[in-house]
Amino acid sequence: MGRAALAMRAPEVDPCDMNHPELAFAICTGIAVEMAHLRWIVLTQWKCGCCGESHLECARKPAWIKILL
């Protein structure tokens, strides 16, 4: 307590040292699931500006939508 507690230095930690390497796999999996979810939203929920159908059913898909398929 007091000055002695404040005078101690915190232990130096290497920022690249991961204590739980399974977190990297979980984070990558979460990102992949979210990317698939966003792809589903774009293809099924967004409507074409020309014909008003969903992008999945539209015959006049823009090039960036064709890449998603």
Walk along the chain (69 residues) and give the pLDDT tens digit of each residue. 556 656 666 667 666 666 777 788 889 999 999 999 988 888 888 887 778 888 777 777 777 777 766
- Evaluate whether residue 66 is within a structural domain: yes
- Evaluate whether residue 25 is within a structural domain: no
25: Cα separation from own chain's centroid: 13
- In whole angstroms, give the CA distance from residue 56 to residue 40: 9
Q: Which domain holds residue 66?
A: 37-69
- Evaluate whether residue 62 is within a structural domain: yes
Number of domains observed in the structure of the chain: 1
- Evaluate whether residue 17 is within a structural domain: no
Name the token pair of 3: 């000055």
- Evaluate whether residue 7 is within a structural domain: no
- Evaluate whether residue 44 is within a structural domain: yes
- Evaluate whether residue 32 is within a structural domain: no
- Evaluate whether residue 42 is within a structural domain: yes
